[in-house]
Chain A
Amino acid sequence: MEAQAIFDMLKGKFGDAVVELQGEGFSPAFVVVAPAEMNAVARFLRDDAALSFDSLMCLSGVDYKEKFAVAYHLHSMKHRHAIGLKTMLPRENPSLPTVDDVWPAANFHEREAFDLFGIAFVGSKDLRRILLPEDWEGHPLRKDYKYPDFYHGIKV
Chain B
Amino acid sequence: MTTRTDALPTQEMTINMGPQHPSTHGVLRVILTTDGEVVTRAVPDVGYLHRGLEKIGERVTYAQFMPFTDRLDYLAAMNCNCAWAWAVEKLAKIEVPERAEYLRVIVCELNRISSHLIAFGSYTADMGAFTPFLYGIREREHVNDLFEMICGNRLTYNYARVGGVSGDAPPGFLEKTKEFLDYFEPKIDEYNNLISYNKIFVHRLANVAVIPAEEAVAYGLTGPNLRGSGVPFDLRKDEAYSVYPKFDFKVCVGTGERGTLGDCFDRYMVRINEMRESIKIVRQAVAQIPDGPVLAKVPRLFKPPVGEVYFRSECPRGETGIYLISDGSVNPFRLKIRTGSFVAMNIFEKVTKGLMIADIVAVIGSFDIILPEIDR
Contacts and interface: CB of A to CB of B under 8 A. Distances in A.
Interface string A25-38: 11110100000000
A103 B218 contact: yes
A129 B48 CA distance: 12
A99 to B, nearest CB: 12
B319 interface: yes
B310 interface: yes
B54 interface: yes
B50 A25 contact: no
Contacts of A60: 323, 334, 336, 338
A146 to B, nearest CB: 13
Contact of B310 (A73, A129, A140): A73
Contacts of B310: 27-28, 57-58, 73, 84
A121 to B, nearest CB: 14
A63 B58 CA distance: 12
Interface string B340-351: 001101110010
Interface string B344-369: 01110010000000000000000000
Nearest to B218: A104
Contact of B52 (A77, A133, A140): A140
Contacts of A141: 54-55, 334
A103 B215 CA distance: 10
Interface stretch (B183-191, B276-284, B300-308): B300-308
Given A105-B219, A108-B345, A141-B54, A131 B375 contact: yes
A25 B219 contact: no
Interface residues of B, number: 37
A73 B321 contact: yes
B337 to A, nearest CB: 9
Contacts of A116: 54
Nearest to A46: B218
Interface string A44-79: 000000000011111010110000000101000100
B267 to A, nearest CB: 17
Contacts of B55: 140-141
B291 interface: no
B46 interface: yes
Given A57-B220, A131-B375, A108 B346 contact: yes
Contacts of A54: 214, 217-218
Classify the secondary structure of A's interface with B: mixed
Nearest to B347: A104
Interface in B39-75: 46-47, 50, 52, 54-55
Nearest to B48: A131
A80 interface: yes
A56 B217 CA distance: 9
A85 to B, nearest CB: 12
B136 to A, nearest CB: 29
A54 to B, nearest CB: 5
Given A105-B343, A108-B342, A57 B319 contact: yes
A107 interface: yes
Contacts of A56: 220
B47 A131 contact: yes
Contacts of B343: 105, 108
Contacts of B346: 104-105, 107-108
B325 interface: yes
Given A25-B305, A58-B338, 12 more contacts: A25-B307, A26-B307, A27-B308, A57-B310, A57-B312, A103-B220, A104-B218, A107-B346, A108-B346, A109-B338, A131-B47, A131-B50
Interface of B: 46-47, 50, 52, 54-55, 90, 214, 217-220, 231, 233, 238, 305-310, 312, 319, 321, 323, 325, 334, 336, 338, 342-343, 345-347, 350, 375-376
18 contacts: A26-B307, A27-B307, A27-B309, A55-B217, A56-B220, A57-B321, A58-B336, A60-B336, A63-B334, A71-B308, A77-B217, A84-B308, A104-B347, A107-B346, A131-B50, A131-B375, A132-B50, A140-B52
